[in-house]
Chain A
């Protein structure tokens, strides 16, 4: 609904951080340096699974500048966001290669690092759990001996005693078995999606001090400032009011900076040196393996249909490689289950989603939160099913597309407001990829061009009480400051919130000053900056704060203008009479209260406050999954055109298409960039990214020499993005979340196009020329 009367919302406003960033003047956490600042470095496990026999720090203590050495014995407790299963420093045993074993604090960073090389750790190797399949076996070695005894921080997590199952989420909708037995055509297929890393440009970094008054002051590049407070309070017994968290601009996060890992370590380090400021900055290698990475994913999908192609039954078994600790993987296990079907209406659904412990680096949230993975499995199955039915793969998707009136796997009823219009997205993507010109054409000697498509959906699985707040205050010139705890990590959230405020107040963007830094002491509580939720949660808080300020502006102006507040309108830096806009008062004359010529002053400054909390969300039932997990579903379609050399299996990506229904698009330029960046990221891990483990579970490519990814300039030659804007009544100006969505369908449509081109089913990622060659070879044996 392009409402043409809006002046800022819906317009491609320049990002408010563009100038600072492009001139290189942004100061990130790692850029900070000051006299007296101490440095922490980690001793990390060289084994993937081993008993710690001894840690000898004698030689390390002799190194220059060393002030403290901390080992796991000094804090032998478990922490975690969902299930408290992870010791900040390993004690008794290590469970992954790169796990923190000790911290050394020294005057200089190189001294700390040098001393870590002198710590002698003796390990006794234990059997390695090196894959999810192995983890699932009955007699598999256990990564955690008593996982069922860990403290649950969030209710719906279900570790199973004497297994490697960290959680098991079930969906039971309708009667799968009967529907499956009566299906006229069925398909079963398995998939594998590799472990990989976020590789944000800024590596994780933090600094912590405990001041003489006992205040714990944390500076960090985190997506979760209030979770840092919660963790330090919950597990370290610091009064929550004594913890102050500052977050400046973050240099990319992609979900990886949602985990609270460095802050507790730096807190222990600061405590060990009498509260002095200690900085802990990860090297790239640490950022890749010591810090959490992306889940691995194995899936089996079974679909049953009628002859006409109507889906009647779907069964999904998802094994998530959570690595050594459950962290957010337990949440991703749940998210993958509740959206397990993809955006299709299936009356009978059975899903078992397992969070599996292995001896791999532990996994956390990563842009898409399980959805690129499940979409890969579902959309590959849809293509193979279409082939079986001899049906156009787009037609099959059209027939089964989910719509208002249908229910999701957790039996949430969909309405025109809480789900986008998939059918419109399919039609638009079909036009943009020129589907009707053919899905496969010969384009030269040994060259074939093919198109692949993927639909996708995702809800924003926040906590049921997830919320945000906003405070707006005015300057004497009538301009306005916006403070809120949404974190700018490159996604453009501060610009979007500024646009929402500018639109509400009828102001120019240059009159809206958005505070970049987040400070938990004066910013209202916000759940976290994850789950594509900030435009929705913080955006609504800004709308309410603006309404609150407008009411005050009108109240003051009504006195000045001697009329009723109801007669007034705010806009153009003024409050004016609706029937006669020339009669009014400038905001600058009332923003700090109005002063009469006599000197008498009234009303005082305008302070707008606003807040928003999720409505009617519920946990999921343990046995059936029944519940309302998210406020809305954004849906979309992606398509790819590739050219494959059928002789050597090299290929190039010619065209990428993303069509998303994200409700009203607040800023078409930043939204387009989000889609492009997302698709590019999805293509990078679909084509290239993968951690390689040896038989001992040691990561073989924990640096950017060995870890392959796409580089700047390797995006598709043609890169089309379009939006369908079915407004969400609940959202600010009708917007839903869009941040993660560009990434979701990319791996699936790449695999679909390559499977057609190579004439072999490609169900494992990444898709390198070598992996396609391998599949072809196996296929022709």
Chain B
């Protein structure tokens, strides 16, 4: 049960959505975009999030697209994780998001919601960072398509009122070899101790991480180390551990020391799976 009062709207166009957000904002109240609503509901009932108005983006046609357009895969921000997996349009993303939460929750959780999650994991962003995905965002009347990389630094850098509409992926990435490995505490349903996604493009490994630091990331430095075939793999992996962008998470899912043990093993698996051996 959510104890505070709030208003809920589901507008049916981008313009209406933006106008509504701005309107609420101008009245000095707090508006929030939602799509699946799973985080809002679960956090609001324990007072970890508050809004006077929530604006559901599921009514916006652009946010519900899931198709090939010319040479691009276009995924609306309000598309559920299960729909993405079941569509098989982009198997790498499908496999990664299938590891998030449980089946019932994935019927509700959307890709836009997961990318913008309050939690530190945001695992659906991992493949997207690796395939140079672009995102379509809107603010006011300004719709723009930019690289995800330019907007994502630890989390989505959206300005107040800015809304993620779509994710666009160049279909040339679809056939690339990929791997997505998630290690949990024990049950398959759980937050990652370590989650790693990787693809091989032009014999170069690209890797992104979640659960290691308190944000998901891809690092040029780490990729350079892993691709340096002059060094034995175990040494490369040790070097990666010394070059993480910040300290390893230490929490209920796993201690810092354990996470680093798991990360080493997962990287060994990734290297083996992707045939990156010496």
* Contact digits for A279-308, partner B, Cβ 8 Å, 1 yes 0 no: 000010100000000000000000000000
- Bound: A647/B268 CA distance, A: 11
Instruction: Please give the distance in Å from A191's CB to the nearest CB on chain B.
Output: 20
When C-beta atoms are compared, the residue in chain B nearest to A684 turns out to be B187
Flag whether A56 is at the interface (Cβ < 8 A): no
* Contact digits for A689-721, partner B, Cβ 8 Å, 1 yes 0 no: 000100000001101011011110010000000
Flag whether A510 is at the interface (Cβ < 8 A): no
Contact A109 B102 (CB under 8 A): no
Q: Which of B252-278 contact A (CB under 8 A)?
A: 252, 254-255, 258, 261-262, 265
Contact B185 A285 (CB under 8 A): no
Contact A700 B252 (CB under 8 A): yes
Chain B residue numbers with a CB within 8 Å of A692 are 252
When C-beta atoms are compared, the residue in chain B nearest to A285 turns out to be B46
Q: Which of B59-100 contact A (CB under 8 A)?
A: none
Flag whether A136 is at the interface (Cβ < 8 A): no
Interface residues on B, range: 20 to 34
Contact B3 A709 (CB under 8 A): no
Chain B residue numbers with a CB within 8 Å of A769 are 183, 185-186, 262
Instruction: Please give the distance in Å from A542's CB to the nearest CB on chain B.
Output: 39
Contact A109 B187 (CB under 8 A): no
- Bound: A117/B190 CA distance, A: 30
Contact A110 B2 (CB under 8 A): yes
- Bound: A283/B3 CA distance, A: 12
Contact B265 A647 (CB under 8 A): yes
* B46, B47, B183, B186: most-surrounded residue (chain A CB, <10 A): B186
- Bound: A766/B187 CA distance, A: 12
Q: Which of B1-17 contact A (CB under 8 A)?
A: 1-4
Contact A113 B3 (CB under 8 A): yes
- Bound: A576/B258 CA distance, A: 75
Chain A residue numbers with a CB within 8 Å of B193 are 770
Contact B188 A688 (CB under 8 A): no
Contact B258 A770 (CB under 8 A): yes
Q: Which of A308-328 contact B (CB under 8 A)?
A: none
Q: Which of A659-703 contact B (CB under 8 A)?
A: 687-688, 692, 700-701, 703
* Contact digits for A748-781, partner B, Cβ 8 Å, 1 yes 0 no: 0000000000000000001011100110000000
Flag whether B42 is at the interface (Cβ < 8 A): yes
Instruction: Please give the distance in Å from B166's CB to the nearest CB on chain A.
Output: 29
Contact B1 A110 (CB under 8 A): yes
Secondary structure class of chain A's binding surface, majority of residues: loop
- Bound: A650/B261 CA distance, A: 12
* Contact digits for B151-185, partner A, Cβ 8 Å, 1 yes 0 no: 00000000000000000000000000000000101
- Bound: A711/B190 CA distance, A: 10
Knowing A114-B3, A117-B47, A648-B265, the reply to whether A688 touches B258 (Cβ < 8 A) is no
When C-beta atoms are compared, the residue in chain B nearest to A702 turns out to be B46
Instruction: Please give the distance in Å from B118's CB to the nearest CB on chain A.
Output: 11
Q: Which of A723-751 contact B (CB under 8 A)?
A: none
Chain A residue numbers with a CB within 8 Å of B186 are 687-688, 708, 710, 766, 768-769
Chain B residue numbers with a CB within 8 Å of A708 are 185-187, 190
When C-beta atoms are compared, the residue in chain B nearest to A705 turns out to be B42
Chain A residue numbers with a CB within 8 Å of B102 are 711
When C-beta atoms are compared, the residue in chain B nearest to A688 turns out to be B186
Instruction: Please give the distance in Å from A505's CB to the nearest CB on chain B.
Output: 43
* Contact digits for B170-213, partner A, Cβ 8 Å, 1 yes 0 no: 00000000000001011111100100000000000000000000
What are 15 A-B residue pairs whose CB atoms fall within 8 Å in the complex? A283-B45, A285-B46, A648-B261, A650-B183, A701-B252, A708-B186, A708-B187, A710-B186, A711-B188, A766-B186, A768-B186, A769-B183, A770-B254, A770-B258, A773-B261
